[in-house]
Structures are given as structure tokens and as C-alpha cells.
């Protein structure tokens, strides 16, 4: 009888374990993340992690979601594609997380897609507006505007001023060429073409002097950057010292706050497209609550566009988990997302079964002399 009881208990335990959704226990829901916590893009990665962690902490301190804590498991990929791909497999296949959240770029996100699709894992808020990540995918949910939206906004800002001479700086890879094509389309709508182009073949070691030289050949009035914050800052500094006097504008790819910090006093006047409101705009409820939460998370007043974007994305994630019910499954969670229209406090995200791009919000901000943003 004892042996039969042990076997029965083992069978029941196995059936319960088999029925339990991946990443969900009686006390927690585990969300996985791979971002650069070290290396050249570390500031961006840490901002992404901190913004999400600040909101999840706020939720956990209020009792969690249907009694479960949200646990964010973050692995460092150092902005290296092979490590990001390996981290994805660890998170999904070894740890069995419920969902993935907030990878730092399209370059790091795209290698995750085969694993995401194979295991039917929701992939939330990749920090990219690149076109390849915005093609409808059953499992991918974008919570921000596209780079094409941002680059159109930049050209739209300058064109009415009679400016016609635009140069473009991009990476010579799939995502970089998509950015170039987006600017080219925006210019073509207005009967314009780029006057010069700099394309960096190596993301890790871009040839900045050669890029500045190529751009200068066109005598541009505006230079549009679509590169990471270190490359963008190095380009702007050298361009200024080389006598290139053009106005500089960047899409959100480098992150407005990391770019401003890297530029220091040499960043004044640089325009950056942003996909969330300024993190100092306290007239918005979401910014007020974000500031309180991020101060608690970091122990200091350190606000950024990137951590605010991550905070909002985490808030949307939790809202969908609430709507998925007390026994969440990945399918129920995605069903909740597919019918979601949610005002996070002055920032609206909405999805539909045939549209997983949740927002088209874009504003332009200017880096001021005091390293504050003007908008």
C-alpha cells in the first residue's frame, strides 16, 4: 500500500507539473530578458532592465498579479548576437520562462525568433523600430513606433523650412539598410534625394573618420544618424571639429539619454526622435508614477527616455497578465494582448490580431546646453 501511495503521488505530481504553464508557479511568473549589461551598449541595456524592474517591483509590492510575483530574469549579452541567441535558448529551453521582454535592438532580437516560434513564446517590447521586426508575427508585440515613423517625422520637420540637402549615416546591414530606405522614401515624397551617405560595415568598430569624410562631400544642411550612441557621439564630435556645420538629427536607436550623456557639452542642439514622452513631463500620470518607481529602484533621481519606455512596456505586460486571468497560459496572455487597448497614463498602446504594432507615437526633442532636453 505504501508503495502504491508513493507511485500515485509521483504520478499526480508529474501530471501537475506537465499541466503547469512554462514560467508560471503558484507564487511567480518568470519573464526572461537578454540585454547588454556590459560592453559598448551597456547604458541602454541597463536602462531597459531598470525601467521594467521598477514597474514589476511596484506591482509585486502591491500583491503581484492574481497573487503571483513578476520575476524578471535578465542575462547579459554584451551586445553580441551569438550571446543573445544563446541566452534566448537558455531562457526558453532550460529555464522555461513564460515570455521574453525588451531585447535591446533588432540585431539582437531577430536571432531569437526561431526559438520563439518553435516554443510559441510571447516576445514583448523589443527595443527597436526596425521594419524586419514589425512584420506581423504571431508571437511578437511591439509597443513603440517604427524607425520609419521617426525618420519621416525628422524629414517632415525640416522640409517646410526649405531645407533640401540631407545626408544619412547608417550601418551596412539588414536593419541599417532598412533605415536608409526609410529616409530615402521620406525624401522622395518631397522630390529630394540624399546628397551624401556614410555606411559603416562594422558595427563594433565603425570607421568614423571615413564616415565624416563621406558625409562632408555633400555639404549637407542636415545629417540624419541611425547608429548606436557611441558611434553617433563619436561622429558628431569629429564632424564638428572637422568643420561640418550641418544640423544633426538622430532616430531613437541610440537612446536619447545615453547619447546626450556620451556627447556631454558637445551635444547641445542635437535633435533626437523619441517614442515616449519626456521622462520629466510630470503633467502625465505615467511619468509621475515612473519617477517615483525609478527613484525607488535606483536610489536616486536618474530619469531616461529608455527606462520610461521600458516602464510603460512592463505596465502593458502586467495589464495583459491581469486580463489573462488567475490561471495564465501563453495562449490566454496573447489573446488578452490581441484585444488590448490600454491607456498607461497618457500613453496609449493597442493591439489587434492582425496588428502587433502597439503605438506610432513620435516626438522630437533637442539636447540643451545643460544636458537637459527641450521639447
Residues spanned by the domain of 206: 147-251
E-only strand ranges, the chain = 28-35, 69-76, 99-101, 123-124, 140-141, 166-171, 196-200, 222-225, 247-250, 271-274, 341-343, 348-350, 363-367, 373-374
pTM (two decimals)? 0.88
Asked if residue 369 is part of any domain, the answer here is no
- Alpha-carbon span 84 to 78, nearest angstrom: 8
What pLDDT sits at residue 359? 97
Same domain, 169 and 122: no
Asked if residue 278 is part of any domain, the answer here is no
CATH number of 220's domain: 3.40.50.2300
Asked if residue 232 is part of any domain, the answer here is yes
Task: Among 233, 251, 269, give the residue marking a domain's end.
Answer: 251
Task: Among 210, 228, 251, give the residue marking a domain's end.
Answer: 251
What pLDDT sits at residue 46? 96
What pLDDT sits at residue 21? 65
Asked if residue 288 is part of any domain, the answer here is yes
Asked if residue 262 is part of any domain, the answer here is no
Asked if residue 166 is part of any domain, the answer here is yes
Q: Are 211 and 169 in contact (CB under 8 A)?
A: yes
Where the chain has pLDDT below 70, the residues are: 1-21, 371, 375
Same domain, 117 and 13: yes
Same domain, 36 and 132: yes
Same domain, 13 and 110: yes
Same domain, 124 and 164: no
Same domain, 27 and 124: yes
Same domain, 167 and 216: yes
> How many domains, the chain?
2
Same domain, 173 and 219: yes
Asked if residue 267 is part of any domain, the answer here is no
What pLDDT sits at residue 371? 65
Amino acid at each position: 500500500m505504501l508503495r502504491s501511495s508513493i507511485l500515485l503521488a509521483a504520478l499526480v505530481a508529474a501530471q501537475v507539473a506537465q499541466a503547469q504553464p512554462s514560467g508560471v508557479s503558484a507564487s511567480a511568473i518568470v519573464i526572461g530578458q537578454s540585454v547588454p549589461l556590459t560592453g559598448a551598449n551597456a547604458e541602454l541595456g541597463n536602462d531597459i532592465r531598470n525601467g521594467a524592474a521598477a514597474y514589476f517591483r511596484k506591482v509585486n509590492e502591491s500583491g503581484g498579479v492574481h497573487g503571483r510575483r513578476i520575476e524578471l530574469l535578465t542575462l547579459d549579452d554584451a551586445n553580441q548576437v551569438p550571446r543573445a541567441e544563446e541566452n534566448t535558448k537558455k531562457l526558453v529551453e532550460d529555464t522555461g520562462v513564460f515570455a521574453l521582454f525588451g531585447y535591446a535592438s533588432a540585431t539582437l532580437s531577430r536571432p531569437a525568433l526561431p526559438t520563439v516560434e518553435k516554443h510559441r513564446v510571447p516576445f514583448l517590447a523589443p527595443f527597436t523600430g526596425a521594419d524586419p521586426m514589425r512584420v506581423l508575427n504571431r508571437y511578437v508585440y511591439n509597443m513603440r513606433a517604427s524607425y520609419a515613423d521617426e525618420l519621416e517625422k525628422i524629414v517632415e520637420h525640416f522640409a517646410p523650412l526649405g531645407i533640401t540637402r540631407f545626408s544619412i549615416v547608417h550601418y551596412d546591414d539588414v536593419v541599417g539598410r532598412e533605415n536608409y530606405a526609410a529616409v530615402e522614401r521620406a525624401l522622395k515624397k518631397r522630390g529630394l534625394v540624399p546628397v551624401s551617405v556614410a555606411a559603416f560595415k562594422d558595427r563594433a568598430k565603425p570607421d568614423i573618420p571615413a564616415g565624416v569624410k563621406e558625409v562632408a562631400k555633400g555639404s549637407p544642411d542636415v545629417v540624419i544618424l541611425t547608429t548606436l550612441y557611441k558611434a553617433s557621439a563619436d561622429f558628431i564630435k569629429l564632424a564638428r571639429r572637422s568643420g561640418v556645420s550641418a544640423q544633426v538629427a538622430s532616430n531613437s536607436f541610440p537612446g536619447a539619454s545615453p547619447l546626450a550623456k556620451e556627447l556631454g557639452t558637445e551635444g547641445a542642439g542635437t535633435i533626437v526622435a523619441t517614442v515616449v514622452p519626456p521622462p520629466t513631463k510630470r503633467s502625465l500620470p505615467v511619468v509621475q508614477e515612473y519617477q517615483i518607481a525609478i527613484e525607488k529602484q535606483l536610489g536616486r533621481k536618474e530619469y531616461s527616455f529608455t527606462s520610461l519606455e521600458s516602464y510603460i512596456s512592463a505596465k502593458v505586460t502586467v495589464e495583459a497578465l491581469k486580463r489573462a486571468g488567475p490561471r495564465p497560459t501563453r495562449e490566454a496572455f496573447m489573446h488578452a494582448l490581441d484585444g488590448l487597448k490600454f491607456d498607461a497614463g497618457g500613453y496609449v498602446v493597442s493591439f489587434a490580431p492582425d496588428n502587433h504594432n502597439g503605438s506610432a507615437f513620435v516626438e522630437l526633442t533637442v539636447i540643451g546646453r545643460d544636458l537637459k532636453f527641450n521639447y
